[in-house]
Structure 1
Amino acid sequence: MERRELLRRLAAAGALPLLPALARAAGGADDWQAEFEAARTPWKSGFATPPGDLPPTRAKVRGRFPDAVAGTLYRNGPAGHDLGGERYRHWFDGDGMVHRFVIDGADVRHQGRYVATPKRMAEVRAGRRLAEAFGTMPPGAEPPTSPDSINVANTSVLPMQGEVLALWEGGSATRLDARTMETLGVKTWRPDFAGMPFSAHPRTGPDGTVWNFGVSAAQSMLALYEIARDGTLRRATAVPVADLPMVHDFAVTERHLVFLMPPLVYDSKRKEAGASFLDAHVWRPELQMRVLVVDKKNWEQRQLLTLPAGFLFHVGNAWEEDTPGGTLIHIDYVRSENAGSVFTTNREVMRARWVKRADPHLAVATLNLRTGRATQNALALDAEFPRIDPRRVGLRHRHVVHATQTMADRPGFTAVARTNVETGRSQRYAFGRQAMVEEHIFIPDGTGPGWILGTVLDFGQQRTLLSCFAADRLAAGPVAQATLPYTLPLGLHGAFVPA
């Protein structure tokens, strides 16, 4: 009898909870791991698990990276997708690995290192998964003792005061040595905020102030943070928000914090019944897309507006203007019709399957704080991972850098674009059908047009590329490109620190 048929019959006989243990005992893998290993899809290397840390390696460089790009690019993403023959059921579950690209003209060196969170270290010692994850409930998972007992530190980074904070959604930031990337422990901003969620999308204003938030879904509480340029906490509080949804990103303006809240709402009864954190959420379109606007100076002053129901992960930027008709806030974000991608698309890639859902598109919304009316305009441009000139955070901007050009037969994007969100005009560079474009960021260069820097998985050649473009000549192609002699797991977000 074939192994897969045996597993199917065992499941039908009620032995489902024992399957992972039986698979390990037999020296095999669970169904998802077996399917992933058997798949012939070449793009699956973007979701493979590096067996360990990646030592410092010099890349092959074509061209020369500009002087303004001399420095270090840090990137973070889920990398530890399987352990002990068991594979996670969601892309967002994997243990975080932070990558460090040191750039100096024609010299680029890469190093990758797993974030040694308490969760990861305990599971590596045990040789199996012990804790629940965002979208997976491993058999026999132990109830979390705190948010940080399940922290995977796998989403983004925040360079701060000689360290790099590895960020996640549901718990503390994790401190790393900026040079060696050694894990130093969790960051506790204030004793009473120990373990409080600290989002993976902080916003740093032009004056160096860092603003952030955190979502405590079970308590329906939204944490707010204001951090000084020197890394000291100025303020932190938690405010109640009814029907608090899954919020991944937000925006700041000169006077406000802006939260776009999709109708994907936490249901405690589902969690009590044993669902994963993701599956404890319910799509409730009747709530619409609520927009919470918080006064920066007085967090008790809050206003709620509504947009048509939709889902989002990422926001580009927001800015405000005072008009005779009232204060207007303009905000651009990446909008999907529903949350199908997070429930299905980002799950099925874990077994190297592609299930396409509605493409995300750029949208620009306008909020009138006097009338309480909100409107939006959707641009006919598929997009993800929006980034802007960091000097324009919270100020009027026109251009957003983002990934674009989805494919019908596989996940990801094949091009990087720079789009004017006021006119809709866009320029792009396409890497080809065998490329998967990751987040690209904007790097200023004095009063010049600046540079665009980011990574791409070339699964045709099984290499990861680091490319640099002139921002005003993106379609002309990279002015410099570094090629690693291996592929990196597809990551999420990063930050650049100039030399």
Structure 2
Amino acid sequence: MRAGFRSLDREVALDLEVRGELPDWLSGTLVRNGPARFEAGERKFRHWFDGQAMLHRFAFAAGKVAYRNRYLDTPALRSTDDGRIGFGEFATDPCRSIFGRFFTRPRLTPNANVNVLLDDAEGDWALTETPIAVEFDPDTLATVGLSKRDHAVPGQAHAIPGQVTTAHPHVAPVTGDLVNYLLQFGRRSVYRVYRQRNHVREVLAELPTDRPGYLHSFAVTERHVVLVVFPLVVNPLSFLLRGKPFIENYRWRPELGTRFVVFSQEDGALVADHRTDAFFAFHHINAYDAEGRVVVDICSYPDAEVVDALYLDRLRGDTELPLPFPTRYEVDLTSGAIHSRRLSEEAMELPRVSYRAHNGREYRYAYGVSAHGGSRHDFFNQLVKVDVRSGRTLRWHEAGRYPGEPVFVAAPDAAREDDGVVLSVVLDGATERSCLLVLDAGSFAELARAEVPHAIPFGFHGQFTSRSYPQ
């Protein structure tokens, strides 16, 4: 699987050979994002999350698949062309003296390597965990430009201050507003939950904190926004005093527990603020409102060891991989009690659901990557589908192959929640080539695969749109 953490120099545009048969209704485009350059001259990036962003597009039409890939042309990438690391990344920093740290304004990285936001009205954007989005041309994948410093997406009339955000904005299931948060570091740091409607962004709620936690994602329901604050926390002064990369300033403090903060989407009122035993997660699966409760499903790790496990020297070596499990947390909005239970004994990461129909609403099926046989001695090497009601699990696994995030695409006349296909980019470790795998979402049987002539580095997230583009 080491080819998945190797830099990719090729940028191509070509038709792929398809083995099997694609559904005749499958028409549109999958755009995926992820790191693809792990060096800057003689210097090497240290963590999987640090690699420079590359977009990969798979276009479906008339039973055929066309592929194009292209680096995001950002100042961060151009500094690597010069053999420099010009911006602080997740776990890699430029070499700066203590004088430079105090008297140089921190440069937020424009390396938008985590996710994409595809929107007809406001453009197509690559996203990361800093409030800098990168617009790209959907036809060519060429970089158009960067958003303003305090804007995670375009269209703001007023900037909202903050240095950290998520690359997982949500579409509110009832209003259609785009919802996210910004974290502003300071003597008294503040999470600001905001919504964007009619091209204007407004603060919905604020949560002051002395020790902000690292939050990669959050959840929405029909009525609420839920922040789950894990006890991987930071004293913001550490960024100046310790001289370490971003994530290495955080400390695991399990005695703090994990905090569930629930806000009303209607007026931003604080509905609940309760704690449970410590755990950590990158990704929420889904959430929904129940009778007097909020149900939050999360890919849960027992602690934050996984952050260290994803350093590149460990991934390329013989490290053990911590495994997350799909876990349900039910927050009683009256008593404050939080009850949890595993939804499956199969590990799950990079989760997806039928988003358009079930985001923020009760649902039945979740899809993700997993570890075959529960082994911690390899990378994620199988796909799983979990029935969150019964715990029943379906699997796709082939020895020596490593799938990425499974993206669900609903059939246009879908009669069931799982009526559609699942798309995943899979690396063949033996041939060091990738393919796009297409599974029937109901049965999890393979329908087709489209072969790519090179290895696609392991990426993070992607989105499917029904729009088609010229090749």
Give yes or no for TM over 0.5. Answer: yes
Aligned length: 446
Q: 1:480 to 1:206 in 2, by over 3 A?
A: farther
Aligned to 2:408: 442
Determine helix, strand or coil for the equivalent of 1:309.
coil
Q: 1:363 to 1:146 in 2, by over 3 A?
A: farther
Equivalent pair of 1:68/1:444 in contact (CA under 8 Å)? no
Aligned-partner residue type, residue 251 of structure 2: V
Matches within 5 A, 1:247-258: 247-258=215-226
Matches within 5 A, 1:10-409: 43-51=1-9, 54-124=11-81, 126-140=82-96, 143=101, 149-161=108-120, 163-187=123-147, 188=151, 189-193=156-160, 196-207=163-174, 208-217=176-185, 220-228=189-197, 231-233=199-201, 235=203, 239-271=207-239, 272-322=241-291, 327-343=292-308, 345-349=309-313, 352-378=316-342, 379-390=344-355, 391-406=357-372, 408=375
Which segment drifts farther, 206-215 or 76-85?
A: 206-215
Aligned to 1:453: 423
Deviation at 1:81, TM superposition (A): 0.9
Aligned-partner residue type, residue 101 of structure 1: F
Aligned to 1:30: none
Determine helix, strand or coil for the equivalent of 2:2.
helix
CA distance in 1, matches of 2:134, 2:104: 17
1:359-378 deviation per Cα after TM superposition (whole angstroms, max 9, x unaligned): 11110111110111111002
Equivalent pair of 1:217/1:245 in contact (CA under 8 Å)? no
Aligned-partner residue type, residue 89 of structure 2: A
Determine helix, strand or coil for the equivalent of 1:184.
strand
Equivalent pair of 2:27/2:60 in contact (CA under 8 Å)? yes
Deviation at 1:84, TM superposition (A): 0.5
User: Greater helix percent: which structure?
Assistant: 1
Equivalent pair of 1:146/1:195 in contact (CA under 8 Å)? no
Q: 1:387 to 1:253 in 2, by over 3 A?
A: same
CA distance in 2, matches of 1:122, 1:495: 28
Deviation at 1:61, TM superposition (A): 0.4
Determine helix, strand or coil for the equivalent of 1:294.
strand
CA distance in 1, matches of 2:205, 2:332: 26
Deviation at 1:384, TM superposition (A): 0.3
CA distance in 2, matches of 1:410, 1:463: 22
Equivalent pair of 1:258/1:293 in contact (CA under 8 Å)? yes
Q: 1:401 to 1:181 in 2, by over 3 A?
A: same
Q: 1:145 to 1:166 in 2, by over 3 A?
A: farther
Q: 1:284 to 1:196 in 2, by over 3 A?
A: closer
CA distance in 1, matches of 2:92, 2:83: 17
Gaps of 5+ in 1: 1-42
RMSD: 2.3
Aligned-partner residue type, residue 380 of structure 2: F
Which segment drifts farther, 481-490 or 170-179?
A: 170-179
Aligned-partner residue type, residue 160 of structure 1: D
CA distance in 1, matches of 2:190, 2:24: 45
1:454-495 deviation per Cα after TM superposition (whole angstroms, max 9, x unaligned): 111111121111111111110x3x112111011111000010
Equivalent pair of 1:468/1:481 in contact (CA under 8 Å)? yes
Determine helix, strand or coil for the equivalent of 2:307.
helix
CA distance in 1, matches of 2:255, 2:319: 26
Q: 1:410 to 1:179 in 2, by over 3 A?
A: farther
Determine helix, strand or coil for the equivalent of 1:50.
coil
Determine helix, strand or coil for the equivalent of 1:479.
strand
CA distance in 1, matches of 2:17, 2:157: 44
Equivalent pair of 1:79/1:489 in contact (CA under 8 Å)? yes
Determine helix, strand or coil for the equivalent of 2:78.
helix
Alignment partner for residue 426 of structure 1, among 385, 390, 393?
393
Deviation at 1:152, TM superposition (A): 1.1
Q: TM-score, normalised by structure 2?
A: 0.89
CA distance in 2, matches of 1:203, 1:103: 25
